[in-house]
């Protein structure tokens, strides 16, 4: 009886734990909580329910579980599921009477049945749920009604930490904004609540609750209802001048701030709610209420005791008295609010400082859209205790200067920050900021040579300047610098730099301009200064040959907007700037114009790549790379229309004779032909400049079966080179390869591998540059050989599949947006043939139209008449389908037949072609096994001797192997798969013996852990696998190798308990005996030796006589030990480390089942024992190695069973308990001993208490 109670309590505990793991069932994705796909929770994790064996009975159970009535006929359809969610249940076979899907049979275990179909069922139940508040629309008790047939109230008893989230959901679901507060229940009328139906609410563990009904439990009786007060329209503010935030337009907060119209009662409550006293006066402007309250309030910043415009401690001046704002919970958003309100630019930084007195506001929380800090959510009071006060610095307080230098355009850079002049740390300075400073100080542009050591370093604190793209004003980039040890200050030198250029349609003719200090000056065309000498000097300076013509032209437009310069040349100068600069003539309305004999152009020797060539004075010459810059390369690629990027060359040219040392451009955007060129003084050699132009137009998708997916190629030094696996393309933060291809955004890493490639392939194109938007890029390209080609997939990828088996089914398009069906509109045999060919399914066979209201692809298909469509996507048009659209079902002539060489195991083949093992994984194996109705995949392996040329690459939405991408290529081995349905069990003897398993290869012993002997469900299942009904006995035996068997309590199919892993150190072989077990031990031969037989019989009689004596002695000793255990600590029995393990120390016991566990360890001697419950102590103690039974028991059958085959029992496990060594559970191992012949073995006496096996009693 004790053993029975022990078993019952153990089973109850296991069932209780399993039941807790099986969670709530809801409907998700519909227009109401009684419509959608099934979302089911297991171990507090949401998952899906697969639709294998789905029928109307399944839907009945779903609607019953969700308290939504009954299924609506004809409303069921397929919807795409979330691929990253587990399918907890599949293969359900519901009868329709179950209370929950968890009660339906069929599924092997939660999350075990592999479900790779991209869709699940969406159903609609008859229930119509309405949730409201009473007595007011946005305030009151939460009420529900179901299909207008019955109603009730939600109760809040036992609400957890998420009760405010539930209340927030309630407010928003009734259209009242967010939650304002949870008032006391007695604030509302509860008369109807007391006599109405009530239902509990618990949203804990449910993801993204969209309707309170998802959290509803069973109807019950409770005390407190759910009562909420929602935001509604109650929050107010005044929008006016920062000088008085208590006067202005009255606004109320709904979804946004809106003006209050003239349909409101004017009471002092309006000013009180905005903490501005009482109403002083009001008026209406365009029917909007403008209110002035009695208080005068403004936000100010204080630097010490004086107000500071844009930095300082945050204060509020209320009625002429400045009081600090407390800093508890202060945030950057609050600081932004201050800078914005005071019109001081952007926030630079804020800190909390020591308090300076009692505050007027605390716990401020601004959202950023309030009219003033005063109107943010906060605690208001005249004498609040402040722990700290916020200090804010806005960009409007920042100023720059160049100090301690020779003039205002050179010196050490200082910044006025927080009212103090501070130095700028060079360690974080970026030279690109120097131009900004020079321009800010009207000093033109930097020379690029900054030497801060030339300037006095000064004293004072440091700041750092680091801007991002969201900070166009450098004054917003200033931050305090904490680490000032060995910090050097930034120094800047700004210098006016002059360059002459010709502005015209040709490189060596046009108007003469001068660029200086980022300004353009025009050379005066006055006859007093512009003459042939000056024009000749200019042509020579520009390397434009001889003077052809000079003139002047009137300036266009208002000459007051133009600046002129004048030079007087004698003809001996080599540069216009060597001539004398003179005052402008009195009448200066013309611009100098010149035309020279030569032409200048800059190009590349191979068109868009090669050596830089300068065509000047009739010759094409090179320019040294030493002086050539990346900016020049960018400009040249742009001018030659060769792309917007520069690729770094693989092999630079060697040294050679060049003509030009350098060139100097005009500004940042000028044409290279307008540059000033510097020739070498003699024939000198250098490495010529070498440029490879490229860019977005030089990178493309190789034609593929899918849209916006495939191998990427780049045109590089005359060749189209493919991209290898994991290759990266970087054109800066604003560039996206897929976006440029009009394919959305890039997805990394690539989704699948391409075929091996023996040639040269690109591993990376890095054109990131400085990350500036629209900036020209300088790129580096990395190459490799013998790699796999990568397949890039863009976010706007599209793939067309046939849903049923890869070559037949509804035509669906999968993309980032999900699954959409293709309209049959416009489809002919031409489009069908193109699609079937793309899918490697032969030619088009048939098509038909299917009615449905699913989501459709927003484009139609019509192939061009020229027959040049390389894929079905070349047939895509911009025309959307009509409203009367129907789904397209296509069947191709061929079929992607997937098979295994054996029954649910063997070599994987598609249309009899072996599949390559490259990148094969368990998901692919599961596709095969599920498609062949073989359950899940157990494992897969390589077949090295079987060569294959068929590569398979699957995406997540491919639920059958025939839908996956297939390519031909070299492969050294194919793949073999074994499915769970192929797993079989056997024992070494009929209905008993060593348990073995076979999963498609050979028989292996199973190994288990010691707790398996307690798993009666597993043992009985093993016996049923051998058609032997139930288990009668089981034991463990040491084995050298095997396959692991482990069965959780919620597994229904024992085949899924086999694990594809070898035996561990704590496992044993399993030997079982089932009903119908037949011992096949050989019959022992008779012996003619009689003397040993007589001795054996005598010894047996002696043992039988001594047994009662030892039994009585053992019982007395055991009783004494039991009494001593109450006073003495537990004692550990001697343990053989190779034959048993300690189960565990005694734990604290409860009053019911736990105490039965403790008492079950004690089996009194008077109890009748069966052979299956017999326990053993250490075999080294001869008296304790035999079963101790009182006269009249039948325990000796066990002795006969153990000695019959000459094997001796050995203790496997000892379990110390409170009752000492006598009260221990043991597991017997049997070891082979020399067998005695019949003649020298003595059988037990002919007594009714001792029965010999195979003999009548």
- Residue 1057: pLDDT band (50, 70, 90) is very high
Query: Which class in CATH covers the domain with range 803-895?
Result: alpha beta
Sign, CA torsion 419/422/428/434 = positive
Residue 116 CA to its chain's centroid (Å): 20
Report the pLDDT value the prediction gives residue 1204, as an integer from 0 to 100. Answer: 39
Report the pLDDT value the prediction gives residue 407, as an integer from 0 to 100. Answer: 59
Query: Which class in CATH covers the domain with range 297-395?
Result: alpha beta
Q: DSSP string covering 400-426, please?
A: EEEEEEEETTEEEEEEEETTEEEEEBG
Instruction: Give mean pLDDT, residues 1111-1115.
Output: 58
Residue 15: is its pLDDT beyond 50?
no
Q: What is the pLDDT of residues 352-385, one digit of tens each?
A: 999 988 999 988 989 899 999 999 888 788 888 9
Query: Which class in CATH covers the domain with range 398-495?
Result: alpha beta
> Would 297-395 and 898-980 be classified into the same CATH topology?
yes
Report the pLDDT value the prediction gives residue 813, as an integer from 0 to 100. Answer: 93
One of 3.40.30.10, 3.10.250.10, 3.40.50.300, 3.90.1200.10 is the CATH number of 898-980, namely 3.10.250.10
What mean pLDDT is reported for the chain? 78
Q: How far apart are CA 346 and CA 477, in angstroms?
A: 10
Q: How far apart are CA 797 and CA 743, in angstroms?
A: 7
Nearest to 858 by CA among 890, 823, 809, 886: 823
The answer to whether 747 and 793 are in contact (CB under 8 A) is: yes
Domain boundaries, the chain: 20-124, 129-230, 236-293, 297-395, 398-495, 499-596, 601-694, 695-796, 803-895, 898-980, 983-1074, 1091-1105+1175-1257
Residue 112 CA to its chain's centroid (Å): 23
Report the pLDDT value the prediction gives residue 507, as an integer from 0 to 100. Answer: 85
Report the pLDDT value the prediction gives residue 1157, as an integer from 0 to 100. Answer: 38
- Residue 59: pLDDT band (50, 70, 90) is very high
Query: Which class in CATH covers the domain with range 499-596?
Result: alpha beta
**Residue 418 CB neighbour total at 10 angstroms:** 23
Q: What is the pLDDT of residues 83-140, one digit of tens each?
A: 889 999 999 999 999 999 999 999 999 999 999 899 999 999 999 999 998 866 787 8
Report the pLDDT value the prediction gives residue 752, as an integer from 0 to 100. Answer: 63
**Residue 442 CB neighbour total at 10 angstroms:** 10
- C-beta pairs of 1111-1115 under 8 Å, 24+ apart in sequence: 1111/1165, 1111/1188, 1111/1189, 1111/1190, 1114/1165, 1114/1183, 1114/1184, 1114/1188, 1114/1222, 1115/1165
- Longest distance between any two alpha carbons in the chain, whole Å: 153
Query: Which class in CATH covers the domain with range 695-796?
Result: alpha beta
Q: Is the peptide bond before 1095 cis (omega within 30 degrees of 0)?
A: no
Q: DSSP string covering 508-561, please?
A: TEEEEEEEETTEEEEEB--TTT--HHHHHHHHHHTT--SEEEEEEEEPSS-GGG
Q: What is the pLDDT of residues 327-344, one digit of tens each?
A: 988 999 999 999 999 999
CA-atom Rg of the chain in angstroms:
45
- Residue 1110: pLDDT band (50, 70, 90) is low
Instruction: Give mean pLDDT, residues 860-878.
Output: 90
Assigned CATH for 129-230: 3.10.250.10
Q: What is the 3-state secondary structure (H, E, C) of 1054-1072?
A: HHHHEEEEECCCCCEEEEE
**Residue 489 CB neighbour total at 10 angstroms:** 23
Residue 1234: is its pLDDT beyond 50?
no
Q: What is the pLDDT of residues 909-918, one digit of tens each?
A: 998 889 998 8
Q: Which CATH architecture has domain 20-124?
A: Roll (3.10)
Residue 1255: is its pLDDT beyond 80?
no
Report the pLDDT value the prediction gives residue 715, as an integer from 0 to 100. Answer: 82
Residue 645 CA to its chain's centroid (Å): 33
Query: HSE on the CB side for 372, CA within 13 Å?
Result: 30
Instruction: Give mean pLDDT, residues 1180-1204.
Output: 36
Percent of the chain with pLDDT over 90: 32
| pTM score | 0.49
Sign, CA torsion 295/296/301/306 = negative
Report the pLDDT value the prediction gives residue 136, as an integer from 0 to 100. Answer: 67
Nearest to 991 by CA among 1084, 1081, 1080, 1082: 1080
Report the pLDDT value the prediction gives residue 232, as an integer from 0 to 100. Answer: 77
Instruction: Give mean pLDDT, residues 598-614.
Output: 89
- Residue 160: pLDDT band (50, 70, 90) is low
Beta carbons within 8 Å of 562's beta carbon, 6+ residues apart: 522, 555
Report the pLDDT value the prediction gives residue 559, as an integer from 0 to 100. Answer: 53
Q: Where does 168-242 show beta strands of DSSP type E?
A: 179-181, 197-201, 216-219, 227-230, 236-239
- Give the bridge partners for 120, in sequence order: 79
Q: What is the pLDDT of residues 1114-1169, one digit of tens each?
A: 565 555 544 444 444 343 333 333 333 333 333 333 334 444 333 333 333 334 33
The answer to whether 541 and 549 are in contact (CB under 8 A) is: no
Q: Regarding the domain with residue range 601-694, which homologous superfamily does it belong to in the CATH classification?
A: SRCR-like domain (3.10.250.10)
> In this structure, what are the phi and psi dihedrals at residue 459, rounded to the nearest 5 degrees?
-140, 175
Report the pLDDT value the prediction gives residue 750, as an integer from 0 to 100. Answer: 57
Q: How far apart are CA 330 and CA 328, in angstroms?
A: 5
Report the pLDDT value the prediction gives residue 19, as an integer from 0 to 100. Answer: 54
**Residue 689 CB neighbour total at 10 angstroms:** 26
Instruction: Give mean pLDDT, residues 267-282.
Output: 89
Assigned CATH for 983-1074: 3.10.250.10
Q: How far apart are CA 837 and CA 841, in angstroms?
A: 6
Mean pLDDT highest for which of 658-672, 728-742, 852-866, 1110-1124? Answer: 852-866
175: left (phi over 0), alpha (psi -120 to 50) or beta: left
Q: What is the pLDDT of residues 695-752, one digit of tens each?
A: 667 787 876 778 888 888 888 887 888 888 777 777 666 677 788 888 888 776 655 6
- Residue 458: pLDDT band (50, 70, 90) is low
Q: How far apart are CA 836 and CA 825, in angstroms?
A: 18
Report the pLDDT value the prediction gives residue 311, as an integer from 0 to 100. Answer: 95
- Give the bridge partners for 998, in sequence order: 984, 1003
Report the pLDDT value the prediction gives residue 877, as an integer from 0 to 100. Answer: 93
> In this structure, what are the phi and psi dihedrals at residue 282, rounded to the nearest 5 degrees?
-150, 160
């Amino acid at each position: 009886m004790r053993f029975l109670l022990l078993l019952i309590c153990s089973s109850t505990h296991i069932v209780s734990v399993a039941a807790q793991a099986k969670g709530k069932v809801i409907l998700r994705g519909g227009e109401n909580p009684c419509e959608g796909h099934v979302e089911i929770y297991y171990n507090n994790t949401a998952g899906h329910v697969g639709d294998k064996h789905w029928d109307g009975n399944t839907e009945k159970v779903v609607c019953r579980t969700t308290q939504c009535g009954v299924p609506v006929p004809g409303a069921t359809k397929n919807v795409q599921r979330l691929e990253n969610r587990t399918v907890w249940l599949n293969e359900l076979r519901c009868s329709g009477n179950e209370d929950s899907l968890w009660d339906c049979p069929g599924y092997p275990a939660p999350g075990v049945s592999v479900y790779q179909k991209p869709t699940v069922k969406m159903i609609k139940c008859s229930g119509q749920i309405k949730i409201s508040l009473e007595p007011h629309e946005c305030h009151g008790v939460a009420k529900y009604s179901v299909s207008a047939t019955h109603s009730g109230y939600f109760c809040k008893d036992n609400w957890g930490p998420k009760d405010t989230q539930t209340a927030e959901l309630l407010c928003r679901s009734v259209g009242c904004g967010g939650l304002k507060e949870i008032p006391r229940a007695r604030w509302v009328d509860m008369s109807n609540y007391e006599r109405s139906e009530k239902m509990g609410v618990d949203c804990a563990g449910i993801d993204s609750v969209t309707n309170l009904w998802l959290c509803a439990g069973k109807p019950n009786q409770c005390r407190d209802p759910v009562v909420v007060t929602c935001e509604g329209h109650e929050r107010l503010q005044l929008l006016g001048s920062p000088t008085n935030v208590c006067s202005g337009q009255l606004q109320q907060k709904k979804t946004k701030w809106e003006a209050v119209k003239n349909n409101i009662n004017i009471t002092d409550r309006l000013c009180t709610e905005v903490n501005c006293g009482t109403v002083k006066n009001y008026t209406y402007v365009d029917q909007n209420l403008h209110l002035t309250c009695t208080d005068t309030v403004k936000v100010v910043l204080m630097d010490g005791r004086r107000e500071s415009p844009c930095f300082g401690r945050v204060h509020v001046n209320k009625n002429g008295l400045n009081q600090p704002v407390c800093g508890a919970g202060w945030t950057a958003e609050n600081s932004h609010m201050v800078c914005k309100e005071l019109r001081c630019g952007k926030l630079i930084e804020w800190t909390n400082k020591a308090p300076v007195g009692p505050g007027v506001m605390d716990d401020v929380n601004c959202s950023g859209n309030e009219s003033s800090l005063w109107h943010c959510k906060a605690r208001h009071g005249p004498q609040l205790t402040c722990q700290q006060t916020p200090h804010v610095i806005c960009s409007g307080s920042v100023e720059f200067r160049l100090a301690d230098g020779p003039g205002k355009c050179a010196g050490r850079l200082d910044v006025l920050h927080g009212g103090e002049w501070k130095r700028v740390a060079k360690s974080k300075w970026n030279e690109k900021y120097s131009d900004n400073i020079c321009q800010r100080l009207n000093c033109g542009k930097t020379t690029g040579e900054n030497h801060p050591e030339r300037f006095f370093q000064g004293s004072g604190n440091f700041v750092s300047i680091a801007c991002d793209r969201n900070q166009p004003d450098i004054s917003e980039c200033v931050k305090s610098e904490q680490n000032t040890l060995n910090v050097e200050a930034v120094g800047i030198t700004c210098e006016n730099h002059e360059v002459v250029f010709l502005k015209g349609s040709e490189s060596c003719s046009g108007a003469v301009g001068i660029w200086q200090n980022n300004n353009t000056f025009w050379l005066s065309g006055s006859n007093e200064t512009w003459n042939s000498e000056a024009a000749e000097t200019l042509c020579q300076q520009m390397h434009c040959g001889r003077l052809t013509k000079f003139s002047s032209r009137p300036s266009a437009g208002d000459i007051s907007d133009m600046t002129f310069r004048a030079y007087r040349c004698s003809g001996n100068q080599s540069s216009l700037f060597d001539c004398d600069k003179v005052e402008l003539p009195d009448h200066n309305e013309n611009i100098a114009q010149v035309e020279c004999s030569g032409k200048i152009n800059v190009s590349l020797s191979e068109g868009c790549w090669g050596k830089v060539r300068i065509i000047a004075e009739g010759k094409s010459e090179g320019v040294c790379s030493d002086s050539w810059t990346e900016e020049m390369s960018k400009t040249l690629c742009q001018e030659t229309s060769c792309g917007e990027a520069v690729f770094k060359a693989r092999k630079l040219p060697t040294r050679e004779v060049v003509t030009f040392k350098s060139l100097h451009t005009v500004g940042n955007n000028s044409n290279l032909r307008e540059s000033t060129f510097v020739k070498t003084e003699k024939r000198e050699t250098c490495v010529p400049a070498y440029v490879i132009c490229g860019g977005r137009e030089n990178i493309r998708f190789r034609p593929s079966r899918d849209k916006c997916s495939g191998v990427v190629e780049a045109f590089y030094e005359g060749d189209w080179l493919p991209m290898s696996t994991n290759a990266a393309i970087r054109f800066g933060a604003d560039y996206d390869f897929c976006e440029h291809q009009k394919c959305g955004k890039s997805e990394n890493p690539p989704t699948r591998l391409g075929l091996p490639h023996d040639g040269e392939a690109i591993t990376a194109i890095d054109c990131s540059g400085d990350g500036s938007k629209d900036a020209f890029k300088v790129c580096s390209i990395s190459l490799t050989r013998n790699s796999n080609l990568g397949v890039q997939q863009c976010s706007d990828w599209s793939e067309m599949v046939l849903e049923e088996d890869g070559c037949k089914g509804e035509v669906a398009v999968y993309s980032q947006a999900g699954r959409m069906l293709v309209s049959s509109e416009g489809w002919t045999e031409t489009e069908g043939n193109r699609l079937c060919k793309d899918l490697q399914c032969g030619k088009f066979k048939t098509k038909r139209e299917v009615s449905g209201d699913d989501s459709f692809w927003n484009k139609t298909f019509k192939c061009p008449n020229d027959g040049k469509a390389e894929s079905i996507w070349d047939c895509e048009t911009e025309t959307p389908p009509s409203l009367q659209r129907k789904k397209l079902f296509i069947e191709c002539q061929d079929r992607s037949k997937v098979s295994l060489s054996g029954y649910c195991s063997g070599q994987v083949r598609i249309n009899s072609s072996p599949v390559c093992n490259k990148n094969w994984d368990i998901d692919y194996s599961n596709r095969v096994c599920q498609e062949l109705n073989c359950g899940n995949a157990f494992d897969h392996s390589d077949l090295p001797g079987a060569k294959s040329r068929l590569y398979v690459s699957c995406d997540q939405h491919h639920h059958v192997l025939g839908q996956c991408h297939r390519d031909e290529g070299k492969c050294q081995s194919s793949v073999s798969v074994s499915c769970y349905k192929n797993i079989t069990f056997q024992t070494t003897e009929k209905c008993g013996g060593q348990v073995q398993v076979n999963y498609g290869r050979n028989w292996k012993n199973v190994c288990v852990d010691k707790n398996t002997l307690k798993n009666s469900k597993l043992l009985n299942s093993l016996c049923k696998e051998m058609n032997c009904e139930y288990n009668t006995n089981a034991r463990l035996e040491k084995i050298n190798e095997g396959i692991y068997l482990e069965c959780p309590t919620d597994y229904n199919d024992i085949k899924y308990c086999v694990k594809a892993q070898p035996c561990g150190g704590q496992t044993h072989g399993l030997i079982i005996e089932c009903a119908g077990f037949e011992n096949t031990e050989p019959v022992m031969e008779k012996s003619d030796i009689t003397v040993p037989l007589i001795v054996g019989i005598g010894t047996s009689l002696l043992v039988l006589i001594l047994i009662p004596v030892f039994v009585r002695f053992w019982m007395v000793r055991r009783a004494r030990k039991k009494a001593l255990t109450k006073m003495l600590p537990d004692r550990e029995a001697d343990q053989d480390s190779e034959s048993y393990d300690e189960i565990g120390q005694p734990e604290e016991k409860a009053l019911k089942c736990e105490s039965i566990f403790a008492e079950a360890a004690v089996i009194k001697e008077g109890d009748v024992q069966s052979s299956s419950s017999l326990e053993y102590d250490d075999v080294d103690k001869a008296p304790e190695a035999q079963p101790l039974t009182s006269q009249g028991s039948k325990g000796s059958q066990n002795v006969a069973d153990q000695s019959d085959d000459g094997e001796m029992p050995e203790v496997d496990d000892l379990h110390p308990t409170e009752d000492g060594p006598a009260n221990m559970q043991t597991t017997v191992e049997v070891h082979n001993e020399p067998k005695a012949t019949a003649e020298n073995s003595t059988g037990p006496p002919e007594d009714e208490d001792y029965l010999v096996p195979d003999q009548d009693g």
